[in-house]
C-alpha cells in the first residue's frame, strides 16, 4: 500500500506542480503583452492544477501518517499550505488582470493600466516565492525522510 501511495504522491507532484509553476511564472509576460486569450488560459490552468495539487498533499499525508510528528514533515506540510494560500492570491491577481485588460480591449504592451502593472509585480513575486517553497519541500523530503 505504501508503494502505491508513494507512486501517487510523486506522480501528482510531477504532473501538477510542474505545470502549475510554469503557468504562474509565465503570467506576468502575458499581462505585460496584453494577451487576454493566453492570460485566460493561464488563469484556468492555474486554477485546475492548484486544485489537483491537493492530491500531492493528500497522498503525502497518507504516506507519512506514521511520521507526522517529525519536524521535516510538519514543516513541509505547513509550507505546502502556505504555498496554496499564495496560489489563491495569484489566481485572484490573474483574474484582476484579466478584468482590467478585458476592459481595455486587449491592451497594448506600452500602455497597460496602472492596476495591470501592479498585478505583474505581485504575480511575479508570489510565483517566485511559491517556486522556492516547492524546492524547500523537495529538499526536506529527500534529506529529512526516514531511510
For 33-58, what is each residue's pLDDT tens digit?
Answer: 989 999 999 999 999 999 999 999 99
N-terminal to C-terminal alpha carbon distance within the chain: 17
Please give the pLDDT value at position 49.
97
Please give the pLDDT value at position 105.
55
- How much is the average pLDDT of 134-146? 89
| Separation in Å, CA 137 to CA 17, 42, 45, 86, 115 | 12, 24, 22, 15, 33
Percent of the chain residues past pLDDT 70, beyond the cut: 90
For 71-89, what is each residue's pLDDT tens digit?
Answer: 999 999 999 999 999 999 9
**pLDDT band at residue 103 under the 50/70/90 scheme:** confident
Assigned C-alpha cell, 128 = 517566485
CA quadruple 63, 66, 68, 71: dihedral, nearest 10: -100
**Mean pLDDT value across the chain:** 91
| Separation in Å, CA 103 to CA 68, 97, 116, 143 | 48, 10, 11, 49
| Separation in Å, CA 33 to CA 8, 44, 112, 128 | 37, 18, 9, 20
Q: Write down the pTM of the prediction.
A: 0.88
Amino acid at each position: 500500500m505504501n508503494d502505491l501511495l508513494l507512486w501517487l504522491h510523486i506522480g501528482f507532484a510531477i504532473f501538477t506542480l510542474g505545470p502549475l509553476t510554469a503557468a504562474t511564472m509565465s503570467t506576468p509576460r502575458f499581462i505585460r503583452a496584453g494577451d487576454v486569450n493566453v492570460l485566460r488560459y493561464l488563469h484556468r490552468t492555474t486554477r485546475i492544477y492548484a486544485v489537483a495539487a491537493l492530491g500531492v498533499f493528500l497522498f503525502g499525508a497518507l504516506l507519512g501518517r506514521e511520521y507526522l510528528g517529525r519536524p521535516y514533515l510538519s514543516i513541509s506540510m505547513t509550507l505546502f499550505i502556505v504555498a496554496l494560500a499564495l496560489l489563491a492570491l495569484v489566481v485572484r491577481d490573474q483574474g484582476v488582470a484579466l478584468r482590467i485588460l478585458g476592459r481595455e480591449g486587449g491592451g497594448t504592451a506600452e500602455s497597460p493600466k496602472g492596476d495591470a502593472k501592479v498585478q505583474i509585480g505581485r504575480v511575479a513575486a508570489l510565483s517566485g516565492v511559491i517556486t522556492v517553497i516547492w524546492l524547500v519541500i523537495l529538499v526536506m523530503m529527500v534529506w529529512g525522510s526516514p531511510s
